[in-house]
Amino acid sequence: MARRLSDTRKRKRRQIWWRIFKWVFVLGAIAAFAAYGYQTGTMLAEQKVVVLEDEVRQLSNQVKELNVDIGKLATTVTAERQRVKEWESAYNRDAPTGELKNLYVQLQEKSNEGVSFERLAFVIAQAREQRNCDDKVVNKRFIVQTALYKGANDSVAFADKSITVTAMGETAIGANGARNAWYDKTKPVTARFILIGGKTSEKTGKLPLHHSLVVGDKEHRFTMNFTDGNSFATVAHSICDYP
């Protein structure tokens, strides 16, 4: 009886110790896994830190390079702006304006028409303020054409009929809103100067209108102005030596 009790106690003690051993083993394994995980996490974190530090260094170098490039670009832009200002100043200083610009345009037109620069230079050199003009001024009256009138007495001829002059104006509107056959004297008109052979020159503007034509060694000068009567205008013609 005593022996059975002793065996039972020993078996219980072994069971208790076996349970204690299992729990110690489990706890040790957990601790080992935790330590391993901690070390592994620490190593990965350290590697990540190294990688991030390397990326930071690379980015810092790129930023420095970009700052250098930005500085160079800023210098280039400043230089180009200064160059543009210099070009603008040179253009404003040298480009013709006003009447000189109009003269330059006329020179270009004559050059495009085939007149040589030597001829243009000669004409300019021969120009003088005092002009030799015929004292005789011929005045003629004609009807200004409109959209409602194109017919008799709508042209005049000068210089032995070598130059024909006509004009087109806008239709006048009456007080009642009706359109009239005569031209509106407050609006621009377009005068046409037709030479024998068909060559035509035009001038548009409000009256009085001035225009010149060079034929051979003569300059034909015209002044178109208002006259009595709703439909009419007058043209004054004179001749000067050219140049």
Confidence category of residue 1, pLDDT binned at 50, 70, 90: low
Confidence category of residue 2, pLDDT binned at 50, 70, 90: low
Kindly tell me if the per-residue pLDDT of 123 is higher than 90.
Answer: no
Query: What span, in angstroms and rounded, lies between the C-alpha atoms of 61 and 54?
Result: 11
Query: What span, in angstroms and rounded, lies between the C-alpha atoms of 158 and 12?
Result: 149
Contact 180, 170 (CB under 8 A): no
Q: Which pLDDT score is estimated for 171?
A: 95
* Segment 84-94, tens digit of pLDDT: 888 888 877 87
The rounded percent of the chain whose pLDDT value lies above 70 is 95
Q: Which pLDDT score is estimated for 193?
A: 97
Kindly tell me if the per-residue pLDDT of 149 is higher than 90.
Answer: yes
Of 174, 209, 165, 169, residue with least CA distance to 185: 169
Query: pTM score, two decimals?
Result: 0.52
* Segment 164-204, tens digit of pLDDT: 999 999 999 988 899 999 999 999 999 999 999 889 999 99
In terms of residues, how long is the chain? 243
Strand partners, 133: 240
What is the domain partition of the chain in residue ranges? Answer: 1-94, 96-127, 133-241
> In the numeric block, which tokens belong to residue 204?
């548009």
> In the numeric block, which tokens belong to residue 104?
């330059």
* Segment 68-104, tens digit of pLDDT: 888 888 899 899 999 888 888 887 787 777 778 888 8
Query: What span, in angstroms and rounded, lies between the C-alpha atoms of 216 and 120?
Result: 14
Kindly tell me if the per-residue pLDDT of 127 is higher than 80.
Answer: no
Mean pLDDT score across all residues of the chain: 86
* Residue 130 parent element (H or E): none
Query: What span, in angstroms and rounded, lies between the C-alpha atoms of 241 and 243?
Result: 6
Of 171, 170, 209, residue with least CA distance to 193: 209
* Burial 9-40, CB ≥16 within 10 A → b, else e: eeeeeeeeeeeeeeeeeeeeeeeeeeeeeeee
Confidence category of residue 54, pLDDT binned at 50, 70, 90: confident
Of 202, 199, 201, 176, residue with least CA distance to 188: 202
